[in-house]
Amino acid sequence: MLSMWLILVLCACTSVLARAPNFVVILTDDQDLELGGLTPMKNAQKLLAEQGATAKNWFVHTPVCCPSRAQMLTGRMFHNLRNRGPGGGCMHINETLVNPDTFALKFARASYRVGIFGKYLNDWDVHQRTWPPGFERFFANGGGNDEEPGGYTNPTYQDQDRVYQGHPGEYAGYGTAIIGNKSVDWLRTVAPGPQPFVLLITPKAPHIAATPAPWYQHVFSDRFAPRTPSYNFSALDHHWLVAQQGPITHNESLQIDELFRNRWRSLLSVDDIISEVVATLQAAGVLNDTYIFLTSDHGYQLGQLRLPMCKLNVYDHNTRVPFLVRGPGIRANSTFDAYGSNVDLAPTMLALAGLPWDDLDGRNMLPALLAAPAQTSTVSQTDTCHYIEYFSLGDVVRMDHLVDTQNNTYRALRCQTQTQGTFLYAQFYNLIDWQFQHVVFREFFDLVKDPFQMKNIVHQVSPTLLDTLDAQLASLFQCKGEACRTLVNLHL
């Protein structure tokens, strides 16, 4: 039964929804939580976290760019968006299942004005003269290059039906600043108007090359990548990709430290965007009618389990991400424990706007957001799981370390239960096993005793529990809509 306080807040939020709230979503690229990815963002902490809610358990389902973004945009699981077989597509994503089905179109049909500024899907061709339906303003690319120029410096963008690459003036210079300027300019146009709006700001930061703005290139010179307990740890009881890792050398550690500093430096420009967005909303008189979200498409690693950089793996440093939100009905300086994910963002936004969302795979997280208690976190979900699924991109090498290969194909459950505690259970497969039929390796981690996933205790787990988890994974792999929301609840 809902507490009287929560009922009152829900009623208050309903009155807000009747006035059609606005939404701003700021999606970063590769921003971690475990390694302090939010630490350099003082504006985010002051203007979002202290004025709203912080998730303690927000995850992605597929820790790589294109699938994660596709899931966030559609509210659908990876297995409902992927190709019919391995290879091709945008990191196995069938883009024809994404572009016509984003939440942009659902909001546009409800008379919202919708704009995106920054990275869309990785394989997006900026030279086409069309863009996905629902976006009134489309200023985007596929993320640009991983090297300069064309990454952060003078990137190429599609601006509606035209292409710009380092053109003099407004399209030249530092990419995050360009994205910020363009998005704030559009916000100044739409915010005072009678129609509600959805603004997606999707900068490249802190993705490699993590090039900082010239005015931030010398900050954090005294900082080093965190040496977490799993840093440079030889995990011989893990699956082959991790077990065969050689040590992080001294020279590699220096590169990791410099990348860490540049990641933080590049995020300072995103933090500047947050400040400008809030100021613009305030000036237009709509700040109190607007929900602002900050999250990432996945986490990152910098030497954890001897994986020098990148993402692509099942562990928390890759799947657990920041999530901050402020807006009507959300208590300032609050936190919530409830498991949530990028697939839940679209349903939650649609629910806040009073629009249908039940056909999506994700959940409406509004009750958890409104129940978030101030400063401390006592609201939790027990006997619930987060589902993870990933198909390898093939051999991916970083600093002479193999960080992905075909047998790094997996599905997993990260669960919080009353009887079994909090744990991560993963099944590993070969990429050609497109239907997850033949398990080649298993991992199980007690996340209370082993929060950095360093000791695989699968051989200590009862066969009955493993059978239950195997059956749950098989069902989740086939789920759609309501079934996905139901199956994440375990009964152990």
Beta bridge partners of 118: 140, 202
Q: Which of 11, 13, 65, 484 is catalytic?
A: 65
**Catalytic-residue membership of 65:** yes
Q: How far apart are the first and last CA of the chain?
A: 23
Q: Return d(Cα 343, Cα 481) in angstroms, integer.
A: 11
Q: What residues contact residue 188 under an 8 Å CB cut-off, 6+ apart?
A: 280, 284
In this structure, what token pair is assigned to residue 330?
């959300």
Give me the tens of pLDDT residue by residue for the chain, a chain 492 residues long. Answer: 333 333 444 444 544 444 699 999 999 999 999 999 999 999 999 999 999 999 999 999 999 999 999 999 999 999 999 999 988 899 999 999 999 999 999 999 999 999 999 999 999 999 998 999 999 999 999 999 999 989 999 999 999 999 998 777 888 999 999 999 999 999 999 999 999 999 999 999 999 999 999 999 999 999 999 999 999 999 999 999 999 999 999 999 999 999 999 999 999 999 999 999 999 999 999 999 999 999 999 999 999 999 999 999 999 999 999 999 999 999 999 999 999 999 999 999 999 999 999 999 999 999 888 876 664 443 344 589 999 999 999 999 999 999 999 999 999 999 999 999 999 999 999 999 999 999 999 999 999 999 999 999 999 999 999 999 999 999 999 999 999 999 998 877
Q: Return d(Cα 453, Cα 481) in angstroms, integer.
A: 31
Contact 469, 387 (CB under 8 A): no
What are the DSSP calls for 65-81, one per residue? HHHHHHHHHHT--GGGT
Strands (E), 219-354: 290-296, 323-326, 334-336, 340-341
Dihedral sign from CA coordinates of 77, 79, 84, 89: positive
Q: E strand or H helix at 404, and its extent?
A: strand 401-404
What CA–CA distances, in Å, run from 332 to 7, 72, 147, 340? 18, 25, 40, 19
Alpha helix locations (H) across 374-462? Answer: none
- What is the torsion angle, in degrees rounded to the nearest 10, for the CA atoms of residue 159, residue 324, residue 281 and residue 216? -70
Q: pTM of the entire structure?
A: 0.95
